[in-house]
């Protein structure tokens, strides 16, 4: 649904926050999957379960970014917003020191880390 809204209905271009919100929420969701995968009732320490959930989330996100890169290379797409001239809005300042693709990828990863960190902190009080 996120890809459909972002690409087909142009949410990436209409809403500056769309991409960052998706990556933040993926960080949140992947932590939950990691905690469920580790198994809360397995007798493992809470810290180990939360650390696994946090690192699981970031690992899945990095794999997603690599798949975006591979997809761009094969299909000459622009999932990582690396093209300077395109129909899509990069949401990167003209004064940015780094190219748009790097800025987009780093923003995606940082948003995931923040989402995973906040979620891990919340789960600390739940477990």
53: tokens are 């959930």
Average pLDDT over residues 47-57: 95
Give DSSP secondary structure letters for 2-15: HHIIIIIS-HHHH-
Residue 88 has pLDDT above 60, yes or no: no
Instruction: For residue 15, report the phi and psi dihedrals to the nearest 5 degrees.
Output: -120, 115
Q: How many Cα atoms within 13 Å fall on the side-chain side of residue 49?
A: 21
> What confidence tens digit (pLDDT) does each residue in 25-41 have?
999 999 999 999 988 76
The pLDDT value given to residue 117: 97
The pLDDT value given to residue 2: 75
Q: What share of the chain is helix, strand, coil (3-state, %, to 5)?
A: 70, 0, 30
Higher pLDDT, 42 or 38: 38
Q: Average pLDDT, whole number, for the chain? A: 84
Closest by CA to 13, choosing from 96, 97, 78, is 78
Distance CA 76, CA 37 (A): 35
Residue 83 has pLDDT above 70, yes or no: no
The pLDDT value given to residue 125: 93
Residue 62 has pLDDT above 60, yes or no: yes
The pLDDT value given to residue 111: 95
- Beta carbons of 19 and 108 less than 8 angstroms apart: yes
């Amino acid at each position: 649904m996120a890809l459909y809204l972002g690409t087909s209905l142009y949410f990436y271009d209409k809403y500056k926050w769309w991409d960052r919100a998706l990556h933040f929420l993926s960080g949140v969701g992947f932590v939950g999957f990691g905690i469920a995968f580790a198994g809360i009732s397995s007798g493992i320490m809470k810290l180990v379960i939360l650390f696994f959930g946090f690192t699981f989330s970031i690992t899945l996100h990095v794999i997603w970014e690599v798949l975006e890169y591979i997809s761009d290379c094969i299909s000459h797409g622009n999932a990582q917003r690396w093209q300077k001239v395109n129909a899509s809005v990069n949401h990167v300042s003209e004064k940015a020191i780094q190219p748009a693709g790097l800025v987009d990828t780093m923003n995606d990863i940082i948003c995931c880390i923040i989402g995973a960190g906040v979620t891990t902190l919340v789960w600390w009080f739940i477990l």
